[in-house]
């Protein structure tokens, strides 16, 4: 299948198996992801049709790539973290996300900051979290703004990627969130266009890996710098499809 042009079958299957294990105790997640992916599929097909690429991709490939894009997390997935143009400021994440995870480094910065953080912060799985986070105390419903926006935790900056602890991430599907839908749409489009280019040019993947290594070489870069670099590479790959 098309996705195997970019990823090994064993890796793809391992991601799908992990998802199956996750949903055994969360049947509602299966329903959510089904509805979410149906919404994403409409957008992806519309973009591919407009770009005259729809006939180049089989329906089963589109379905698999969208599912993969909805449940697989890599650092490259953080292309969503600074795409504020995807967000319609509905405030869903501020009212419904839990836990609002705070790293040790962020906690220390709050302790030493002059900015008033009114929410109670408590220990949580190797880090911290806001004790009451549904809705977040720093979300102002009337204006739909955050009163600590510049100091908000990374988990808020990276939504719809949810940071569960220092090393665990999870994507939360929500078909009502324009940000979440557009995030997976663009991720799927990048997967599709990359796979098609690999099929056309056997050296494309090698050149792409060299480009990524050259463009994103320093792990000490802060999140915003790394995301900007990922955005640039993803935009160049996709071209002006939409």
pLDDT digits (tens, 9 = 90+) for 88-141: 888 888 988 888 888 888 888 888 777 677 788 999 888 899 988 888 989 998
* Residue pair 102/126 in contact by the 8 Å Cβ criterion: no
Q: Is the pLDDT of residue 82 over 60?
A: no
What tokens appear for 16 in the block? 């799908």
- Measure the CA–CA gap between 63 and 38, rounded to whole angstroms: 9
What tokens appear for 199 in the block? 């099929």
The pTM of this model reads: 0.75
Give me the pLDDT at residue 43, please.
94
Q: Which residues contact 144 (CB under 8 A, 6 or more apart)?
A: 89, 90, 91, 94
For the chain, domain boundaries: 2-87+173-238, 98-158
Token pair 């969503």 is found at 80
Give me the pLDDT at residue 62, please.
96
């Amino acid at each position: 299948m098309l996705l195997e042009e970019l990823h090994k079958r064993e890796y793809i299957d391992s991601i799908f198996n992990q998802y199956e294990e996750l949903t055994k105790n969360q049947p509602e997640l299966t329903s959510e992801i089904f509805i979410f992916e149906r919404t994403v599929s409409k957008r992806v097909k519309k973009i591919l049709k407009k770009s005259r690429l729809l006939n180049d991709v089989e329906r089963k490939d589109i379905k698999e790539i969208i599912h993969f894009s909805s449940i697989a997390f890599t650092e490259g997935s953080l292309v969503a973290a600074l795409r504020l143009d995807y967000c319609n400021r509905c405030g869903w994440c501020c009212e419904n996300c839990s836990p609002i995870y705070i790293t040790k480094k962020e906690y220390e910065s709050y302790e030493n900051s002059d900015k008033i953080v009114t929410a109670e912060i408590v220990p949580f799985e190797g880090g911290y979290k806001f004790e009451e986070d549904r809705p977040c105390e720093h979300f102002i419903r009337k204006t739909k703004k955050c009163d600590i926006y510049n100091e908000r935790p990374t988990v808020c900056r990276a939504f719809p990627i949810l940071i569960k602890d220092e090393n665990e991430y999870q994507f939360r599907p929500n078909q009502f969130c324009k940000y979440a839908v557009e995030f997976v749409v663009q991720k799927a489009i990048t997967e599709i266009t990359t796979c098609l280019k690999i099929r056309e040019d056997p050296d494309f993947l090698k050149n792409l890996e060299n480009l990524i290594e050259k463009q994103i070489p320093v792990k000490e870069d802060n999140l915003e710098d790394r995301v900007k670099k990922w955005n640039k590479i993803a935009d160049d790959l996709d071209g002006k499809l939409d």
